[in-house]
Amino acid sequence: MTIKNVLQKIIRLYLSPVKSARYVGVKLGNNTFIADKHHWPSEAYLITIGNDCAITEGVKLYTHGGGRMMRQKYPDFYSFGKISIGNHVYIGASSQIMPGVTIEDNVLIASSSVVTKSVPSGVVVGGNPARIICTIDDYIKRNIKYNTHTKGQSKEEKRKVLEKLPDNAFIKKKEMIYES
């Protein structure tokens, strides 16, 4: 490891996750939350993230991959894909975004999703590979009844509210159905 690489790693340790992203070249909009100091790809400058986004814990964004397999036949092979993330996008924990993907505005990506194709505006996607689950409007209609109105409260205040709520005030998933 070169002295330059060591110095860069040290500098990144002391930067916030947002400043760390900007330092490595990610183009960031305003009011975007990044949960942790990502291990950004070496071509982080190929990533653009819009305004009011949330990149949660453990999300990975890839700008290249698979080149090693091609180099047996094409020794100088290397291919890249830009990643573009629009405004008001939430990317759930441990999701992976593949090279060349565009995620348009107002999108929710469920945790642990693998996004291999571009995503249109106004939808919820999830799975491996990620698929459209519903629209954002449908998601809101299904979940608004679970709003606890605790955003901005302290941990103690929120705990008091949540411990007093009846079971039907919490999200509960239905049982899976076997389809043959």
Q: From CA 137, how far away is CA 94, in angstroms rounded?
A: 24
Catalytic residue positions?
A: 64
The token pair at 23 is: 């330092």
Q: Report residue 9: phi and psi, to 5°.
A: -65, -40
Query: What CA–CA distance (Å, rounded) separates 21 from 12?
Result: 9
* Residue 68: other Cβ atoms inside 10 A: 9
SS3 86: coil
Number of Cβ atoms within 10 Å of the Cβ of 46: 20
R_g over Cα of the chain = 20
Distance CA 56, CA 4 (A): 29
